[in-house]
Amino acid sequence: MALIKFLTDSAADIPADLARELGIQVLHFPIAMEAGEIQDGVDYQPEEFYRVLVKEKRIPTHAQLTPFMFEKCYQQAYDEGYTDLIYMAINAKGSATYCNALQARESFYEENPKAREKFTITVIDAGTYTMAYGWAVIQGARMAAAGERLDKIEAFMRDWIAHARILFVPLDLRFAKKSGRVSAAAAFMGDALGLKPIMTFENGESKVLTKVRGEKNVVPTIVSLCQKNRKRNTPYFLVRADNPEMAGKLRGACIQELKAEPELEYFIGGVIAVNAGPNLIGMIYREK
């Protein structure tokens, strides 16, 4: 019988209590702040981090996870008797972490040649961010706990990330401009005209789906896009940060129009916040 270890990184935004409950190991990205380096999701809780973030003179940056970190995880899982390890990685187009995990896998097998026959390491490029891949890991762990076969678990995880859609709106464009999610010119014009971009990710790249004038039109537009493309009777998730008023409006509109409660409403972590800003709302769902 397969004994599966689930591994992901902190950009998946899996709530800490849920990760502990399901035995999911989370590797935490280092974030460079003015006062020094912190560990994403360890040194600050999300709400605390937002308050620190807006006071920074320069927008912080996060580093990649190193091959050494992955080798250590692989070795530990192997020593503990796991037969399989699945690592779902942050979008490879936005971080070298995925490639580092692959490099570490080869190094591990070189150091442990007998492990090739007894311990399988699967590294998956999520091609996306936050709970768009965090949910795949959560459900994979639940399936494993219920005794599901490895091939079905992996198939589900790959199918989910292939169809997960993120919609998010950075209400303060300076973070998205700095990270390259929105061009400097577009951010300047957006601020000047009061335009808010409704954004997503396609093929690992950020994309502006449409723009709306004023915050009052943000929530109706997000919900409308979801209604057109969401697969019926599938879960959806609400993404929030440091704007409780807009988060509340989105929640109310989703419940009213989608006729269902969100599966999960959660705060984005530090990696997502430094790239998109703490003043945002969004949602994730499965497309048709």
Q: What is the domain partition of the chain in residue ranges?
A: 4-162, 164-286
List 31's β-bridge partners, or say none: 38, 62
Residues 6+ apart with CB under 8 A from 257: 223, 227
Kindly state the average pLDDT of the residues 107-123: 97
CATH number of 164-286: 3.30.1180.10
Residue type at 222? I
In the CATH hierarchy, which top-level class contains the domain 4-162?
alpha beta
Q: Does the pLDDT of residue 29 top 70, yes or no?
A: yes
Cβ-contact 41, 49 below 8 angstroms: no
Q: How much is the pLDDT for 240?
A: 94
Kindly state the average pLDDT of the residues 6-26: 97
Helix (H/G/I), strand (E/B), else coil: 89: strand
Per-residue pLDDT tens over the stretch 60-90: 888 999 999 999 999 999 999 999 999 999 9
Lowest mean pLDDT, pick from 49-53, 129-133, 273-277? 273-277
Kindly state the average pLDDT of the residues 283-288: 96
Higher pLDDT, 173 or 241: 241
Residue 192: pLDDT band (50, 70, 90) is very low
List alpha helices for 114-149, DSSP H.
Answer: 131-145
Q: How much is the pLDDT for 197?
A: 87
Cβ-contact 56, 50 below 8 angstroms: no
* Lookup: tokens for 199: 């954004």
The model's pTM is 0.92
**CA-based diameter of the chain, in Å?**
62
Q: Does the pLDDT of residue 178 top 70, yes or no?
A: no
